[in-house]
Structure 1
Amino acid sequence: MNAVPWFDIKAVPKAELHVHVEGTLEPGMLLDFARRNDVAIPYKSMADVLAAYRFCDLQSFLEIYWAGLTVLRTERDFYELTLAYLSRVRQDNVVHAEIYITPSDHTERGVPFEAVMNGISAAYADARSRLDITGGMIPCVRRHKDVDEAFAAIEMARPWQGRILALGLGGPEKGYPPSPFVDVFAQARALGWKTTAHAGEEGPSDYVAEAIDRLHVDRIDHGVQCEADPELMRRIAEKDIPLTVCPLSNVALKVFPSLEEHNLRRLLRAGICVTINSDDPAYFGGHVNENFIRSTEALSLTEDEQLTLADNSLRAAFMDEDRRRSNRNVIGEMRPVGLTAGSPQ
């Protein structure tokens, strides 16, 4: 029998650590921006857009995702896109959100980098004052491009250094290991940024190990393929390296045949700091709470496991310590009497 949570997941404070702002572009907004910016897209109606949101793997998703980028042109677009996302996830009781942006996806289209950064920064400032949600940006460099592009992205981001939380590594994994970006990530750390890397989604467990051992990342995005290497799993648990797992995304992109076959619960029970995130919610059919709810139903997650997943997100976040502590205390008060984080039920 599937677990039925004794609490409403909306009541649980949580952080979202793995979401691409471009992937929050809902179909209606895509059509609106296309009209406003006079951008020709191959979709004439909502039905056309929804029909296009069918994928067989990461590459097929990225082709549609990149097409959607063409409607994002102005500072106003990035402001409205980001504020809409932050407003939506605040309804899920997300108290802190860290969004990925891929600078080169926009600058190579002729969009000024200032438009991207200023629009997103203004949305965060307004969301902090209006919605009491914190967070920031993680510029993501593209692994399938030359490292010179990655160094250029860092240089472009320097004027906003105080608003940037970390450097990320993204793009299609197959055939693109993390190791060429060793010097890029060393430079990011020298600037005082944290680091993350997409690894072990469709790529092998070796890519996860490379990201940890050579890029010295603070977090691994996805990381689910680490299960193929028990020794690597043990090291991840011992080093307390968080995995920002995206269950609905993993199923949509055929990383797992179904949510019932996802390894999230096995990773959690192996002592790994697993977190739940949405990745690209406009494309994959669910924000954070939907990922929690459907994972709970499919994997029979216990109440304590759900609370641990939420608590892990706060532990793994690049956030203010006082804010982290106060929200973790709320979760602690929600646990049934006699249970502590990770206790068996």
Structure 2
Amino acid sequence: MTTATPDFSKIPRERLPELLRTMPKTELHLHIEGSLEPELIFQLAQRNGVKLAYPSVEALRKAYAFTDLQSFLDIYYAGASVLLKEEDFFDMAMAYFRRAKADNVVHAELFFDPQTHTERGVSFETVVKGLTRACETAKRELGVSSLLIMCFLRHLSEEAAFATLEDALPWRSHFVGVGLDSGERGNPPEKFARVYAKCRELGLRLVAHAGEEGPAEYIWNALDVLKVERIDHGVRCVEDPKLVQRLAAEQVPLTVCPLSNVKLCVFKTLDQHNLASLLDAGLCVTVNSDDPAYFGGYINQNFLETFDSLPALGAREAYQLALNSIDASFAPAVDKQAWRQQLAGVFS
């Protein structure tokens, strides 16, 4: 069943903020550890007897002044130190799902970083059971569907990634795919060629961060060497016109995170972001929040601030971005069709 495209000429611009808030959307680039708000970090630290380097919630939040990806990662991993028990992972994910529900997210695909935890002595089982229980609870109580994507930390070795994959195999039914995150600089996609080939043999869906701090070449290699289905970030594709043409022709989804890009100095200000030009070039762009506790907002905040900063974006682009997010998700086809109809209804 096809869904009729709304008549955008009849939608006044003043309706735009309401549409951005209420339209059904999926979130495809969300690091669940990056949704840990300072208040919850302190709550879990107290529960688990973990001593933090910051005396208060306010002091921790003031430390969120990042100059690049690595300065963020340093504090990100420190925050994750409070996650020790299954209940901690459950509470963290449920806090995110409640915010997602408030933002009319109908489906979320959560990245999780097992190596961040197993290196601290927390078992893979503890991580995945807590997150899975939250996913099931969110579906049952909030009506938000979700999938888990296990990420490899690219600053670690491919051997470490293989070991993580081995740990994960008994829990294969709990996650749909794998991703690649952490520091891009000096860690090209091809470093993980063999582990991605193994994941492909296992039938896992494949995504990878590329073209955020890394060059356009990393996007080519993520596509051709790792054979990913989606590119996480990808904003530096514009440095290579042939790459832009390919991404448009193949409709490779880009999971773009505007507030994150500004917070990590990929763009100096939001009005310099290339989201509008990526859409104009016919790319399958989506909007996401990345690590919302650290980067200044969840998904609706990303939409509202970006549309406020880029006048070229209007109702047509809002609809397209939401539609792209539905089409690019790994959700069942029947669910996607239902969400497309809901989306058209909001814009009618």
Q: TM-score, normalised by structure 2?
A: 0.94
Output the CA distance in 2 between the equivalents of 1:142 and 1:183.
15
- Partner in structure 1 of residue 165 of structure 2: 154
Shift of 1:56: 0.7
| Residue in structure 2 matched with residue 309 of structure 1 by the alignment | 321
What are the residue-to-residue correspondences of 1:37-48 with 2, within 5 Å?
Answer: 37-48=48-59
Tell me which residue corresponds to 1:33: 44
- How far apart, CA to CA, are the structure 2 residues paired with 1:273 and 1:15? 14
User: What corresponds to 2:186 in structure 1?
Assistant: 175
Which residue type is aligned with residue 332 of structure 1? A
The CA distance in 1 between the partners of 2:262 and 2:321, in whole Å, is 19
In the aligned structure 2, how far is the partner of 1:88 from the partner of 1:34? 22
CA deviation string 1:125-148 (max 9, x = no partner): 111111111111111011111111
Q: Tell me how far apart the structure 1 counterparts of residues 346 and 78 of structure 2 sit (CA, whole Å).
A: 43
2:214 aligned residue? 203
Q: Does 1:193 find its partner at 2:177?
A: no
For structure 2, list consecutive stretches of 5 or more residues without a partner in the other structure.
Answer: 1-12
CA offsets, 1:29-50, max 9 Å, x none? Answer: 0111111111111111121111
Deviations 1:294-319 (A, max 9, x none): 01000121101011001100000010
Kindly provide the amino acid, as one letter, of the partner of residue 124 in structure 1: C
SS in 1 for 2:139: helix
Which residue of the partner structure matches residue 127 of structure 1?
138
1:1-345 alignment to 2 at 5 Å? 4-6=14-16, 7-300=18-311, 301-335=313-347
SS in 1 for 2:82: coil
- 2:3 alignment partner in structure 1: none
Matched-pair contact (CA < 8 Å) for 2:154–2:180: yes
Q: Is the 8 A contact 2:19 2:346 kept in 1?
A: no
C-alpha distance in 1 between matches for 2:50 and 2:80: 11
| 2: CA distance, partners of 1:4 / 1:152 | 53
**Identity of counterpart residues, as a percentage?**
46
Question: Number of matched residues?
Answer: 335
Question: Which region of structure 1 is more displaced relative to structure 2, 284-293 or 150-159?
Answer: 150-159
Q: Is this contact kept in 2: 1:304–1:335, CA < 8 A?
A: no
Q: State the shift of 1:330 in Å.
A: 1.9
SS in 2 for 1:70: helix
Q: Which runs of 5 or more structure 1 residues have no equivalent in the other structure?
A: 337-345
Distance 2:221 2:282 in 1: 21
Runs of 4+ in 1 over 4 A off after TM superposition: none
- How well do the aligned residues superpose, as a CA RMSD in angstroms? 1.2
Secondary structure at the aligned position of 2:343 is classed as helix
* Separation of aligned partners in 2, 1:184 and 1:4: 49
TM-score (norm 1): 0.95
Match of 1:311, as an amino acid?
A: L
